[in-house]
């Protein structure tokens, strides 16, 4: 009876030690990732303007580059896109043509830049999110599809601490984020978070070979706006 009790105690202690070991390994490898990403999420809630750029290969037949400029206080979103065919040949390759788009969303109106440099007021619904939509989601800590999905990474990602690096003159720490993307697929992202302000400055992903950079946080972004979009802001409001 004595030996059995000791064996039972030793077995329970072994289980506790093994569980504690795995928990310790997890926290050492994550390096406080959830706390750091929460700081990033809180910092993003204070954003009023930013630039985001994307470069990737959605298919083997095309290379895609995009730029977004967002100003929450003025309600402006500027979007540029350049699609270029790759040298790969195959079924569907002949459907990819080189295209350029330059759009600006001001208030409730979307304008598309024409080849002659002028602007065309679009009658169709805006194809992207408005500044109000982006900024409201940022303030609420929700994902915007422009900045990294930090809220989702906190909930679903495995966060591993990486090395420090410099991105566009800003010192940041890289984090390896692993998330499930579809049945049986894992997405591996590298997110570089600013050492001083905790904001994201770069994301690289094996999904679509994507590369994102982020800059000009809370700065006065200069926009080339259509005259029709500027006039209402400068027109007299009349007497009270």
- Mean pLDDT for 173-195 is 89
Residue 66 lies in a domain: yes
> How far is it, in rounded angstroms, from Cα 91 to Cα 105?
36
| Position 202 confidence tier, pLDDT thresholds 50, 70, 90 | very high
The residues that bridge with 55 in the sheet, in sequence order, are 65, 211
Q: What is the 3-state secondary structure (H, E, C) of the chain?
A: CHHHHHHHHHHHHHHHHHHHHHHHHHHHHHCCHHHHHHHHHHHHCCCCEEEEEEEEEEECCEEEEEEEEEECCCCEEEEEEEEEECCCCCCCHHHCCCEEEEEEEECCEEEEECCCCCEEECCCCCCCCCHHHHHHHHHCCCCCCCCCCHHHHHHHCEEEEEEEEEECCEEEEEEEEEEECCCCCEEEEEEEEECCCCCEEEEEECHHHEEEEEECCCCCCCCCCCHHHHHHHHCCCCCC
Is 79 inside any structural domain?
A: yes
CA dihedral sign of residues 168, 223, 203, 92: negative
Q: What is the pLDDT of residue 29?
A: 45
Tell me the pLDDT band of 59, cut-offs 50, 70 and 90.
confident
Global pTM?
0.79
Where residue 100 falls among pLDDT bands split at 50, 70, 90? very high
Confidence band (pLDDT; 50, 70, 90) for 213?
A: very high
pLDDT over 50 (residue 233): no
- Report the number of distinct structural domains present in the chain: 1
Residue 107 confidence class, pLDDT cut points 50, 70, 90: confident
Indicate whether 177 belongs to any domain: yes
Write the CATH number for 58: 2.50.20.20
24 located within any domain: no
Domain span at residue 203 reads: 30-220
Q: Tell me the per-residue pLDDT of 137-178, one tens digit each, with 9 for 90 and over.
A: 999 999 999 999 999 999 999 999 999 999 999 999 999 999
237 part of a folded domain: no
| 4 assigned to some structural domain | no
For the four alpha carbons of 19, 21, 24 and 29, in that order, the dihedral sign comes to negative
Within a domain: residue 180?
yes
240 domain-assigned = no
The two structure tokens encoding residue 190: 């590298």
């Amino acid at each position: 009876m004595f030996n059995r009790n000791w064996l039972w105690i030793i077995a329970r202690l072994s289980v506790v030690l093994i569980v504690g070991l795995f928990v310790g390994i997890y926290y050492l490898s994550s390096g406080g990732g959830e706390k750091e990403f929460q700081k990033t999420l809180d910092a993003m809630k204070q954003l009023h303007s930013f630039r985001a750029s994307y470069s990737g290969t959605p298919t083997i037949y095309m290379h895609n580059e995009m730029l977004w400029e967002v100003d929450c206080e003025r309600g402006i979103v500027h979007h540029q896109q350049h699609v270029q065919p790759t040298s790969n040949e195959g079924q569907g390759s002949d459907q990819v043509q080189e295209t350029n788009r330059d759009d600006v969303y001001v208030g409730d109106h979307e304008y598309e830049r024409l080849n002659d440099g002028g602007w065309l007021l679009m009658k169709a619904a805006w194809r992207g999110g408005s500044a109000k939509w982006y900024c409201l989601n940022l303030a609420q800590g929700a994902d915007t599809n422009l900045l990294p999905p930090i809220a989702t990474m906190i909930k679903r990602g495995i966060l591993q601490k990486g090395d420090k690096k410099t991105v566009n003159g800003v010192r940041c720490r890289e984090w390896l984020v692993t998330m499930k993307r579809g049945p049986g697929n894992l997405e591996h992202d590298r997110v570089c978070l600013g050492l001083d302000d905790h904001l994201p400055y770069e994301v690289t992903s094996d999904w679509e070979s994507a590369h994102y950079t982020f800059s000009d946080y809370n700065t006065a972004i200069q926009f080339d706006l259509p005259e029709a979009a500027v006039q209402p802001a400068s027109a007299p409001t009349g007497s009270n």
